[in-house]
Amino acid sequence: MLLDELARLEDNPTPLRLAELPDPVPGEREILVRVLACGVCHTELDEIEGRMPPPRLPVVLGHQAVGRVAAAGSAAGAFQPGDLVGVAWIYSACGRCKFCLAGNENLCAEFQATGRDADGGYAEFMTVGQDFAYPIPGVFSPAEAAPLLCAGAIGYRSLRLTGLQDGGSLGLTGFGASAHLVLKMARHKYPHSQIFVFARSPQERAFARELGAVWAGDTAEAAPQKLDGIIDTTPVWKPVVEALKNLAPGGRLVVNAIRKEEVDKEYLLGLDYPTHLWMEKEIKSVANVSRRDVSEFLALAADMRLKPEVQEFPLEEANRALAELKASQIRGAKVLRI
Ligand SMILES: [Zn+2]
Ligand SMILES: [Zn+2]
């Protein structure tokens, strides 16, 4: 399914076109993957509608691809034909800069994204460097594994960046799909930690308690105790300021949002140094994912038997899946079956 030109979905409800392309040929250190399933992500809408435009068109979208190794380049011996592998948002990085050498290749200036800078998984075949493909644990079907490769891996990175130790207290502000996942993985990885959730809607707060949060309150409420780490998954500023208020000395707020909206920016003027920043509080954003995040998260997810609910669409109905995603008709993660 090819994206030829950028447009808002309202103006062009079928931005992707079914096309016949030659099978891609793997380079020396690349593998050819016969894609079986590819998750559908909000980022695809950002690409199609021009908020995160691909550098060249046409392009094949899709950065949560799972498939079987079909062939390998002459210097690519890491996988056997038939192995089930996944490809995530990180498609490649330079491998030589200080970020790459330190395992933070998500920060590399030459970071390339799957399905944006290179053709992705909305296709029967794709190629990827063997170092940027991950074995998929046997407990998952391709459709179950696909949605884990984006939200799950990035949620894992945000949890890792809090620097939380088991027993430390964790807050989550915003309680959408990615925060649900983080709550579940935090409970598994840090069984002695208590989790506090800040969410606007009473339904979300009730759901948070059901999933094991010890406390759930509104965005601006004070938690019953100060928290060592808080993860913000909202698109606005109020939760950032309110979360800083709830941090313990030395605590860290991790902002897991690609961009923040301007609507409530004046809230930042309420930032009060002694209340919100004093006592060595830190703020850190999350950008992309590293390979370590994807591998560690897949292992954790297998250990937890974390199986997302999925709603499958045939590849040629990718436009319908995207339209439903945009209309927030969420019945589990949407996955294209190829
Ligand atoms: Zn994504
Ligand atoms: Zn680099």
pLDDT reading at 323 higher than 90: yes
Q: Name the amino acid, one letter, at 85.
A: V
pLDDT in tens, 73-95: 999 999 999 999 999 999 999 99
Ligand 2 center–CA 107 separation, angstroms: 7
Residue 203: helix, strand or coil by DSSP?
helix
Look-up of token digits 């998929």:
136
Distance 317 CA to ligand 1 centre (A): 18
Find the 288 Cα to ligand 1 centroid distance in Å.
9
Integer-rounded Cα radius of gyration of the chain: 20
What's the whole-number mean pLDDT along residues 137-158? 95
**Residues with a beta carbon under 5 angstroms from ion ligand 2:** 93-94, 97, 100, 108
If you ran DSSP here, which 8-state letter would residue 28 be given?
T
Measured distance CA(144)–CA(311) in Å, rounded: 10
Q: Which ligand is nearest to the CA of 94?
A: 2
Average pLDDT of the chain is 96
* Residue 330 pLDDT exceeds 70: no
How close is the Cα of 106 to the center of ligand 2, in Å? 8
pTM of the model: 0.93
For residue 274, report the distance from its CA to the centre of ligand 1, in Å: 37
Give the whole-angstrom CA distance, residue 14 versus residue 193.
Answer: 46
Q: How far is the CA of 57 from the centre of ligand 1 (A)?
A: 19
What is the 332 CA–ligand 2 centroid distance (Å)?
A: 35
Measure Cα distances from 311 to 51, 151, 315, 331 in Å: 26, 16, 13, 7
What is the number of the ligand closest to the CA of 95? 2
Q: Which ligand is nearest to the CA of 62?
A: 1
Residue 46's CB is within 10 A of a number of other CB atoms, namely: 15
Of the bound ligands, which one is closest to the alpha carbon of residue 63? 1
CB 153 within 8 A of CB 297: yes
Confidence label for 331 from pLDDT (cuts 50, 70 and 90): low
Ligand nearest to the CA of 103: 2
